[in-house]
A and B are shown apart, each in its own frame.
Chain A
Amino acid sequence: MKTEVSIAGVTLKNPVTVASGTFGSGMEYDEFFDVSKLGAVTTKGVANVPWPGNPTPRIAETQGGMMNAIGLQNPGIDTFIERDLAFLSKKDTRIIVNVCGRSIEDYVEVVERLADTNADLLEINVSCPNVKEGGIAFGTDPAALAKITKEVKAHAKQPVIMKLSPNVTDIALMAKTAEDAGADAISLINTITGMKIDVERRRFAIANKTAGVSGPAIHPIAVRMVYQAAHAVSVPVIGMGGVATASDALEMMMAGATAVAVGTANFADPTASLKVVEGIEDYMRRHEIEDIGELIGCV
């Protein structure tokens, strides 16, 4: 039974990773299960310098999901390399480093600092607010997306995954734009912008007012977008958005994803990602699937 998949020449022993920001760098979850069992660990977004993030409350629960406005708090690339990458290097899993920035120069600086580390893949988060480019998030304007993809590709040593925002009208266009600009892979979806109001207190539930919705509630939207993106490009797609079970993951793969990430579900069960790995193997046995590749885009 072959569960390996390949993302831009990097082989993952199984198609399961975790969604950036929901798993730290794996240290905390490694106390619940050996994170080496995952195909890859995707780390929390890291910038060139430490970011303090947003005021609290940063999260709220919603029916079948949650919303967050963490604000990309991170310790900066120096600490990340010394501490987080050092931890992951001892693990037998692939390392996907999620990168964030406020300007193209920020992203390029991080990508260059990662060149001589053992990061296997770089995931570029282009849905951060507060970017220089006229205030438009890189991920929602095709021209800005093409520009940052080209710049990052020009400086990156590892293959580059562009992580797309779902807050767009035409996801296929964004996926194609990233591919044409040189992206080695695409990942989606990031959170969907939402808002929650605490009616008893008559104020916003989250200090930032708007926040990103994630979890099982957004899964059907994510499956649709993964399907549209996968059909628009020939590079591999990593699917995420509400994946909580093996069945959810397989749905993503059948829609066209080569690999899947488990995000918010880690909060409901710290071993959710491991259960997805095991559940996929079980499915392959039950359905006598020799190679997981048979399932990718099979619908």
Chain B
Amino acid sequence: MENARSHQSEAIMVSIEAVSRSFKLPRAGKVRALDEVSATVRQGEVVVIIGASGSGKSTLLRTVNALERVDEGRITVNGIEVTNPQSNLNRLRANVGMVFQHFNLFAHKTALENIVLPQTVVLKRSRDEAVSRARELLSRVGIPEKADAPPGDLSGGQQQRVAIARALAMNPKVMLFDEATSALDPETVGGILALMRELADEGMTMMVVTHEMKFAEDVGSRIIFMDQGKIVEEGAPTMFFKAPDNERTKEFLNQIL
């Protein structure tokens, strides 16, 4: 099957080096959400991150676009050091698209305006240019007729399409998907996954947290399995699903498959 792998090149897009992050627990103690995690994502790769709830998947994605700071370690995206306070994080974030589980569309804006706003504010595009790009993207994600609908009038799947279009409008170099289909009705999941697969096939670099093992197997260039803040297993999908090394991986796969 034709997919992201054929676009792979050597250039490193995301580099995560020995990153740790702890959170204080409400009463006492700490949880190590990331425990010296290292990973590399090359241009055009689709890295799928799986693992049990609380294993640190979201935290890992969120450190990549600096929504979450790190305690230790170093992250670079497209050569820009995310973990350096001197870096322009807002420019960096425009380079990294993020799609959330709960869509997070701007509730006071229509679908179209959700896609227009970041373009005019962050990229300083003219309104005309931003609107025409937004319309193009709404067609691209399959809902051109919903331009004027407020988020509340859209189904979950439609909202997620707008959210993907909003992220794409910034011409990101990397897209992060944090359980993009987990909050959707079963019948709309397929559509969003198909859209993600299209992006992958076009060569988009992606980090995808998902529980959709079929997607992971078909589209993933590489699978990362996380447990208690650590990457405990990593490999090509074939290897990973057919012959996992790690006990925790086996256990997890048994539960989920």
Partners in one complex: no
